[in-house]
Structure 1
Amino acid sequence: MAELVLSTLLPVVLEKLASVLENKIARSKGIHSELKKWEDKLPLIRAVLKDASQKEVKEEAVKLWLNRLQHLSYDIDDFLDGLATDAMHREFIKESQPITNKVRKFIPSCCTSFSLSTRVGSKLDNISTRLQDLMEEKEKLGLIVKNEGSKDKNRVYQTSLVDAPSIVGRVGDKKELLQKLLADEPNFSIVPIVGMGGIGKTTLSRLLYNDQLVKDHFELKAWVCVSDDFDSFKISKVIYQEVGGEQSKDLEDFNRLQVALKDRLKGKRFLLVLDDVWSEKLADWEALAAPFSEVADGSKIIITTRKQQLLNKLGCNHPYDLKELSPNDAFSLFARYAGINDFESYPMLRLHGEGIVKKCKGLPLASKALGSSLRGKTDEEDWKQLLYNEIWMLEDGGDIVPALRLSYHDLSAPLKHLFAYCCLIPKDYVFDKKDLVLLWMAEGFLHNSDPNKTMECLGEEYFQELLSLVKVIFSTCA
């Protein structure tokens, strides 16, 4: 929770600090030089907040470090406000000098002393010492800079290969999407699949990509795992190689590559899967899609994503919204990864397993991960411990994904703040979307950098992004 506060507070503190330094509010050279050190150190600390927020779940030392940083940030904010107040006081005294001189005759000199160095020196030293301690501890904790949108490295290496018999509960989804893929429409059309993290978008795409009907229907196919780096040149290069294009030094130029790709695809019925797309920029898509203009009718592009902003810009107003697994399918998947095919010998384990699966909320990735953590364990205590513990506090050993944090870390800092605020709303409470946005505005959570956009519009955008990213259930939204 400290990271939520810091993500909002630190930018404000840095802005105040820059203003104090720029306007030379701190008259003492000693204070000014110390504030310059703060200005150098605070951005370095801010840069590791992403990593710290992920590690605090399992590392108590990181959690304590974040709490100390939060308290220090409040103290710095108060200190800077104090400097600004002193500056205003000096300006007021200067402007009202004649009157002040008369009044001062009746006030003891001890009460008119506003020596800045005397009043703030100890606070300055205290803050500087604590800030340096946090800097040193940051290194000891191994906190590193991570991009805001950085994902699991393994996402980059996702492939089209699939073990179809091991897939559970997607027969209906596959059948419905096959109809869309095999429909004969002019030029190419987009088949978007949206859903929260861990819901199975990539798995379903693999099933479709490797289906025999699809193989027979399309002349050329290509699979690209895009992830958070939408590089049109790299994506085009992968597509070109997937459809049989030969590598050449001439194709290191983006224009030549796209011309060659267009020639390769011309007149061919083509299937492209763009898996795990995060970009919201229409320009990214337009740069990539230019070679697809002369493909044969019936060509299709599957896009899997958690975000609908780009799809909306492309006119995909009715994407395929992939739902959670049914309780029976989720339990079947969980049992398979737990390594138990017959629960007749373990009736209590089945009872505990059903409770664990219920906590997974139908997410295949969570069911698989938690099932794997129990593989080979038939002691009832192990299953009970997993059931009654907070599952997001589990040691993950590299691949145990906590069910309730799958999408959280992919949210931007402002969205994390708004999401946390939504958690204050009682379960099953019916509210109006506009009222929620007004509450966000009243709390000061919305910071608009676009002068042409109203706060209400910004709040609406945040609401829609929360809705699409984490599937927060808003009842009767207006």
Structure 2
Amino acid sequence: MADAATSALVKVILEKLADEAFKMYVRSQGIHSELENLGKELSQIQAVLHDASDKEIKDEAVKQWLIDLQHLAYDIDDVLDDVATEAMRRELTKESEASTSKVRNLIVPAWFTKFSLSHRLSPKIDGITIELQRLYKAKSDLGLIVKDENRKDPNRGNETSLLESCVVGREREKEKLLNKLLGDDQSSKENFSIIPIVGMGGVGKTTLARLLYNDTKVQGHFQLHVWICISDDFDIFKISKTLFQAVSGQKKEFEDLNQLQQALTEQFKDKRFLLVLDDVWTENYDHWEKLVRPLYSGAPGSRVIMTTRKIELLKMLGFDDLDLVESLSSEDALSLFAMHALGVDSFDSYPTLREKGEAIVKKCGTLPLALKAIGRLLRKKTPEKWDDVLNSKIWDSKYVGDLSADWKVIFPALMLSYHDLSANLKRLFAYCSLFPKDFLYNKEELVLLWMAEGFLNQSNATKSHEDFGQDDFEALLSRSFFQHAPNDETLYVMHDLMNDLATFVAKDFFLRFENHTESRKEAVTKYRHMSIIYEKYGVYKKFEPFKRARSLRTLLVINLGQNDRYCFNSSKFFIDLLPQVPLLRVLSLGGIDISEVPDFICSLKHLRYLNLSETLIENLPDNIGNLFNLQILMVCGCYELTKLPKSFLKLKNLRHFDFRGTASLKKLPLGIGKLKNLQTLPKIVIEEEDSGFAITELKGLNNLRGKLSIEGLCKVQSKMQAHEAQLTLKRLTKLELNWGEGSQHGTPCN
């Protein structure tokens, strides 16, 4: 669905073009008139985007027009970022010249000095202008007209996230399964027996499993309780390793599956356990047998709950008569829908909406996931909005296309919920297609990625980008696009059907590259955002086509807890690829096998986010300060990192510097207190005033938030110096104080 990202990006571009400081600078560079003309034509195109959004559902030509427009918008935004970066570079150069007469010693990136700005950008602007004129003419040929958007709902943003305890109509199923969980299973010859929960996607299998898992009787009956998400990637080693970490609380490395399963056998030995394997897709009996070998050491009466859509494996395991979890009854479905749409369990107080509600429930196939999504979409909406949902073209089977049976039932409901999001929320949701199924989302880390991509830019905003991102995440959570993780309320997951939806709407610009993904050179060139799911024994040659993705903005290497730096020849991949992708804004290489960061990385002038965590690097490049746009730098767990370069102090836009777990990094550069935008700085070590960080430097870091550890307080010379730090004015949640002799005091901050 190109309309959302296109609309959001065009809005950002027009705001940049309207900025007075930006206009003043481009006038000085002689490219003002060209950019002004671009803005005028883009404004007229923006006026028809709402009509295009409605028509793309059934008109392939309009859909392609939107895709072409979004590609062009990306190109325009890259040019504007080039201009803004050059302006920033000149401003910083002036500051440096003012502070030193040795201008010749300034290190200026080569990519700034070759040609004048207008000389470098004019060919790009000319090409963009030609394409924009083509699209401008095509809008008339496609019959696109100016169409008023629906009036903004005054209650937007007041949604609440209903607790999972609001479960309707599963009492009978729960009672039956509880008896199987807690009773004696005379039919099983093994120490554990399997309790399957089978049904189509979105019917509520995981919800039912959660009800059982958290039941007080169940909690008291078993010694071990473990919940593991499986999904369609049935990697025995990975699942076993996750299982070991869950039952032992340890992160250990194992040479092979045999060693790992021996350790698991000891963990389960003579203990009565409850293991939930959620969303099992495999139909391979041998794979299943290998996975469960360690479970035979458990005590009699142990249970394995398996939620699945597939019945073939269960038949091979001897389950001939399976009770499928059915859709809710019409009455229960209507009650669940009312809870999410109206906040009550019936339509008794809303008789005029009852008929509409019944029709929507029928269209949702009485599936709980669909009912929740549509219910939250309609919460506090007018009756007219209910009619719009009922009459939407998205319910049309022709629009659904050639999809699986599960998808054909639930897809229209989920798509309607997506369609009702604001343009920016749609873009944030689509971004999550870069992450694999069952991925555990950290809200703060995801918000930083969104910010680095430029998705959280708010004009005339009184709140920070990070705060806007938190609000946006909560909005998606309130509409069931995210859910709380089963075992950790601080983390979040996305239902696999929601992940499928994100992949569907993002497919023209986002690529998640997994072990089974085939990459063709001609296909890769169109993508702007890519992720590589860190697989064991990956093949370097598979990534060769990435070198053709010269418009790439995002490259995420996602390590799923393998802690194996040798998945592929990552050093070669890293060194060879970076010169080919000069437009990168987000680069995450956490956990891969690199011990040195090549200097070329300092030429990625658009870079906002750099993650080198869990690598073997010993230092950062001397010219790291050339990354004027850098907002987030993460080097967590880089235990070999010993020092930061002097140019670090040129990172004026740096907001988050996370270096937790870097014991060898003993001191910060003198003058780091001048980085006024810093919000994350987990630790500081107080030095003598002339040789390192002085506590008085904290005075200028007014934006610090979160957790802060201060070491070496014995070197603070007076109470006045400590007072100058103004710690009470910062948004700290925890402050840890260390006087340097092993004494330590931590306190929460209110």
More strand by share: 2
Highest RCO, 1 vs 2 (Cα 8 Å, sep ≥ 6): 1
TM-score (norm 1): 0.49
More helix by share: 1
